[in-house]
Amino acid sequence: MIILLKNILYLFALLLITSTSLGAKDLYIQVTSIHKSNLFNTVYDLNELGYKAYTDKKNDWYKVYVGPFNSTKKAEQSLKLIQKNISKNAYIINKSGDIPKLNETKKSDDKKSKPNNILKSVDNFGIGLESYYYNNKFEKDGAYSFSLEGYKHGISLMGTKTLGNFIYLLGDIHYTFADITFKDASGYEKSVPETMYETRAVLGAEFIKVNHLLSPFIGIGYRTLFNDFKNVDGSTHESKYIYVPVGITHRYALGSKARLSTSLEYDYFISGEVKNATATYKQNDTYGFRVKSAYEKRDLYIGLFLVYMDAAKSDSIYNASSGYTNWIKKNSTLELGFEIKYFWN
């Protein structure tokens, strides 16, 4: 009797193992009703969770399969994860026969549609606020002469227009204002009103590989700065610069809804001048660079930035009435701040 019972248990276990292994090889999870405009993000999200995705197309709608799984338990665990993070419209199927080949976003079908990828630029318009520390230090013959220092605040408007799948045009306008501190080498201090206006347009290309994007860009920029020194020496200064920004942006996807963006930029100055009540001084030997890092979503940008600009001594101008030769001193500008932007797509 005991021997018979052992044989029955052995046969039952054998049948259980056999049925599990036979059924498991055809177990898949099916995610249904995926429109082609959302297919890229769905496949990408599944890949982020560690699954290979296969598709079956009908018109503009897809079934996406994940599997095969070697046990019912693993399939059920994966189903819970997919229903929580991807789509509730998913369930386990026992699919025999060939599964469609691995999908690579259906390039032939999606060329005509706008890419739906968190890494790519999209058409949008935004408004932003910025606040930053500002220091403009002047030198004469290598020695400190005076500085303008303080905290500035401003607003910005920006917009992006995509030109095909991998080219974009970006434009922005910045306006800042503040009462900053004039301080000379003797320690004399005085409050000075200052405003800055800057507008830029850049053309960029985008190259994507898995969850990274590289985007080189080039453009044109115009920057004007107005200082009211009337309560210091009775004068005003207005600086104007035209420059070419050249740089590269790197984006890293943080899932399907956010990204980390970093930009490095060199500014080549085409021309510059400083104008006061008596003369206009040319500043041609000028350069700058910028670094930006931000957390971004489709409708939100939160970032830090650093701007540095170095201008050599301006061309000299002889003043016949005073008998002196005047120039604008060598100076360097540092801006370090924070900005937040909201976008409408």
Check whether residue 91 and residue 147 sit in a common domain.
no
pLDDT tens digits for 73-131? 888 888 888 887 788 888 788 765 555 554 444 444 444 433 447 899 999 999 999 99
The reply to whether 286 falls in a domain is: yes
In the block, tokens 């200052």 appear at 194
Does position 67 have pLDDT exceeding 60, yes or no?
yes
Check whether residue 258 and residue 162 sit in a common domain.
yes
Q: Are 250 and 214 in contact (CB under 8 A)?
A: yes
The reply to whether 115 falls in a domain is: no
Q: What is the pLDDT of residue 276?
A: 87
pLDDT band at 154 (very low <50, low <70, confident <90, very high): very high
Of 84, 110, 136, which residue constitutes the final position of a domain?
Answer: 110
Of 110, 136, 161, which residue constitutes the final position of a domain?
Answer: 110
Average pLDDT over residues 150-174: 95
Average pLDDT, the chain: 83
The domain that holds 340 is classified in CATH as 2.40.128.100
Strand, helix or coil at 99? coil
How far, in Å, CA of 266 to CA of 243, rounded?
A: 10
DSSP3 helix / strand / coil % (the chain, rounded to 5): 15, 60, 25
In the block, tokens 């930009």 appear at 263
CA-wise closest residue to 134 among 239, 238, 221, 225: 225
Does position 246 have pLDDT exceeding 90, yes or no?
yes
The reply to whether 310 falls in a domain is: yes
Check whether residue 131 and residue 77 sit in a common domain.
no
* pTM of the shown model: 0.67
The reply to whether 117 falls in a domain is: no
The first and second tokens of residue 291, run together, are 């670094």
Check whether residue 219 and residue 147 sit in a common domain.
yes
Check whether residue 163 and residue 293 sit in a common domain.
yes
CA distances from 77 to 20, 34, 44 (A): 16, 22, 20
pLDDT band at 218 (very low <50, low <70, confident <90, very high): very high
CA-wise closest residue to 44 among 97, 115, 145, 99: 115
pLDDT tens digits for 265-319? 999 999 999 998 888 999 889 999 999 999 999 999 999 999 999 999 888 887 7
Provide the residue range defining the domain that includes 45. Answer: 2-110
pLDDT tens digits for 31-43? 877 777 677 777 7
CA distances from 216 to 2, 136, 202, 203, 291 (A): 78, 29, 10, 9, 14
Does position 244 have pLDDT exceeding 50, yes or no?
yes
CA-wise closest residue to 342 among 153, 184, 129, 171: 129
Q: What is the pLDDT of residue 207?
A: 92
pLDDT tens digits for 269-284? 999 999 988 889 998 8
